[in-house]
Structure 1
Amino acid sequence: MSTELAALAARLDGAQQDAAAIEQLSAGGALDLSDAYAVQHALLTRRISRGERAVGLKLGFTSRAKAVQMGVDDIILGSLTDGMRISDGGAFDPASAIHPRIEPEVAYLLDPEDPTRVTAVAPALEIIDSRYRDFRFDLSDVVADNTSACAFVIGEWRDPAEVGPLGNRAVLLEIDGRLVQTGSTAAILGDPARAPQAALRLASAQGFPAHAGGILLAGAATAAVEVPAQGVVEATITGLGRVSVRIERSIR
């Protein structure tokens, strides 16, 4: 990796650790997509060097609503670490992020020996937090920024055969019991069952390990909403279950 790309990764890493927004990388000149993924890999390496462990992958912009919201139209791939994971019902501190947003997703667990095989499925929440000012970016910016990955929560894993097809299940997103978004799993690539194959294709093209820890977040089923200062955010997917996170701001 070039010194220039390593420096871009260091800027993004510092922005994440300090919870302080930076200017878009593209403001200093366009990045091509291969360089953007190289920056993302360098970001992951920096996190691993601090003791985190890669546990999965995430797809971005699989929802048309999300793509429109963010002004981009390509599917992208990001990395998950154990440092991003929050237990179901656990707490997230919004002070640890810049301008966090949250969205409901479907999570898949892939067989580490055969990543084309799904062994379990669960409802999930993803918290995203662009490190760029005003949550604005182009495609290469967001890829370099690890697809705005911040934190994720996974509900109870279930047997895919027991759950059945997930192609058009109702999705609800609530904050303190107040409905803030509704959607369908069909918003995820038309059917979230397409997500594992899409992830493996991108992983092969962009140099990610095929299994990468086994977890796959398939993408958002609704547009993201701002994380509240406090409260409980809960997602429900019909026939799959519920998952929640408590928002608790620390005193700093």
Structure 2
Amino acid sequence: MSQIQNVAELLDDAARAARSVQQVDPEGRLSVADAYAIQAASIERRVQRGERRVGVKMGFTSRAKMIQMGIDDVIWGRLSSGMQVEEGSALKRSRFIHPRVEPEIAFVLKKDLAGDVTAAEALAAVEAVAPALEIIDSRYRDFKFSLTDVIADNASSSGFVVGAWNDPRQDFSNLGLTMNIDGRTVQVGSTAAILGHPLRSLVAAARLSAAAGEPLRAGWIVMAGGATPAEWIAPGQYVSVEMERLGVAGFHVGE
């Protein structure tokens, strides 16, 4: 078995068992291409178990995070059907190692979108937009990782919740939002924090996924990236995002 397959199996098993592992590339010896190959192989194991690909998620969509990680482009991960949590339902905390949550805006596509597209072309492919929450959960001990570590680990993506879908023909470039836990506001932000405009994240998603031979498909969801810092979650909480004009999305945290 190749190193790519070995690491993919390690990370997939860690996610399934909700147990942390040591970094796989602490010295940064893997290439970014190797890291994405590990991610693809890990997600393919889920598909072989019966899950479906349902979209992609974007990461490091704030300039501050790019600078912190020493990169000049976003990263991306793959979404599968097993990651989706129904809005308003209960999330099993025991499925995760050390989960956090961040507010995002989500797109659903009405037609395929691939390659180098303009913002206008990206918008024309959008069926609807919605407030959303992403559950991130690194499989690495103490949430400590290098760039290649996090890419291999599906960009820390572990779950997502999407609220009601809205007409995309409105200005969603700078919508105010709050993230709340048990009715208390814990983060305040704007969709403008996502690359200055969330559409730029969708443009990047089309470019990066096509380059990997997996162009965005009609019906897929694209999670545009965190609009605020993430918050830890714990059993018994109710977590929600309230987004200007788009509404609310939330979930309960079970045991």
TM-score normalised by the chain length of structure 1: 0.92
Shift, 1:63, TM fit:
2.3
Match of 1:108 in 2: 107
Q: Is the 8 A contact 1:203 1:209 kept in 2?
A: yes
TM-score normalised by the chain length of structure 2: 0.91
Gaps of at least 5 residues in structure 1 are none
**Does residue 234 in structure 1 map to residue 240 in structure 2?**
yes
Shift, 1:110, TM fit:
1.2
SS in 2 for 1:27: coil
- Distance (Å, rounded) in 2 between the aligned partners of 1:20 and 1:113: 36
**Does residue 142 in structure 1 map to residue 150 in structure 2?**
yes
Deviations 1:101-147 (A, max 9, x none): 00000000112345641110000000000000110111111110001
Q: Is the 8 A contact 1:65 1:222 kept in 2?
A: no
SS in 2 for 1:234: strand
Backbone CA RMSD of aligned residues: 1.7
Superposed, 1:101-180 pairs within 5 Å as 101-114=100-113, 116=122, 117-161=125-169, 164-180=170-186
**Letter of the structure 1 residue corresponding to residue 23 of structure 2:** Q
- Distance (Å, rounded) in 1 between the aligned partners of 2:212 and 2:218: 13
Aligned sequence identity (%)? 46
Q: Is the 8 A contact 2:113 2:215 kept in 1?
A: no
Q: Is the 8 A contact 1:99 1:130 kept in 2?
A: yes
Match of 2:187 in 1: 181
**Letter of the structure 1 residue corresponding to residue 232 of structure 2:** E
Shift, 1:206, TM fit:
2.5
Shift, 1:212, TM fit:
7.5
- Distance (Å, rounded) in 2 between the aligned partners of 1:212 and 1:132: 33
Q: Is the 8 A contact 1:175 1:233 kept in 2?
A: yes
Deviations 1:45-101 (A, max 9, x none): 100000100000110010245557x74544101100110001110111111111000
SS in 1 for 2:25: helix
Q: Is the 8 A contact 1:60 1:76 kept in 2?
A: yes
- Distance (Å, rounded) in 1 between the aligned partners of 2:236 and 2:40: 33
Are residues 36 and 131 of structure 1, via their aligned partners in 2, closer, same or farther at CA, if it must alter by over 3 Å? Answer: same
**Letter of the structure 2 residue corresponding to residue 136 of structure 1:** K
Superposed, 1:215-234 pairs within 5 Å as 215-234=221-240
Gaps of at least 5 residues in structure 2 are 115-121
Match of 1:203 in 2: 209
Deviates more, 1:112-121 or 1:90-99: 112-121
SS in 1 for 2:61: coil
